[in-house]
Amino acid sequence: MGFRQGAVLASCSFFLGVLFICFFVDYRILHQELTEEIVEDGFQFYATFFNAPPAIKAVLHGFMGVGIFGLVAKLHKYDESAIFFDGSSLVAYIFAIAVYLAVSVPSLRTVVTPVDVDTRADRIEALRILSAGNTIMMVILGAVLVLQGGQEYARRAEVRELAKIEELKAKGSPSAGKDKKE
């Protein structure tokens, strides 16, 4: 594994780790009957998350850039594997960032620092939207990891097949190198 793939895997894994921590709160918000305790837990958890020191936010946003950099660098190779696996991964990763910027950040602001027109019901709805957005990002980032694993599997399968062909050529088989038609 090279630096580029390591950058992609590290950034996706980092974000999945953060989102799995959030999932303990998100699951209760999305899949259980909302009680006052669940809502207050959600408010407190996301207030802590939102009010984290700037260094934490810088690391989070820096890893976003590392992931995009890694995927663009992998796509730069521009072979079939890069087009299918890395191109799809880049699209999915950018979609996850778009969900973060368009859903998570505004919802966090509504939950933690509501303006005068935001009612408690608005804050609870923003909390539910935030939880749903986090779940969507988990699925998307999981898909990026699956695509990267599929790419590595395809690369190894190709190397195995090429080794078999070379072995047949070395033995002097007359059918070596010809495509099998079925």
Task: Evaluate if residue 92 carries a pLDDT over 90.
Answer: yes
CA dihedral 139, 123, 14, 3 (to 10 degrees): 80
The mean predicted confidence, pLDDT, of the chain is 89
- Contacts of 80-84 with C-beta under 8 Å, sequence gap 24+, read 81/151, 81/154, 81/155
Backbone angles phi, psi at 51, to 5 degrees: -90, 20
pLDDT category, 78, cuts 50, 70, 90?
A: confident
Q: What is the pLDDT of residue 171?
A: 85
pTM for the model stands at: 0.84
Q: What is the pLDDT of residues 122-168, one digit of tens each?
A: 999 999 999 999 999 999 999 999 999 998 898 899 889 999 999 88
Q: What is the pLDDT of residue 74?
A: 85
Residue type, 175: S
User: Can you give the three-state secondary structure of 39-75, one letter per residue?
Assistant: HHHHHHHHHHHHCCCHHHHHHHHHHHHHHHHHHHHHH
Task: Evaluate if residue 10 carries a pLDDT over 70.
Answer: yes
| Token representation of residue 144 | 């990026």
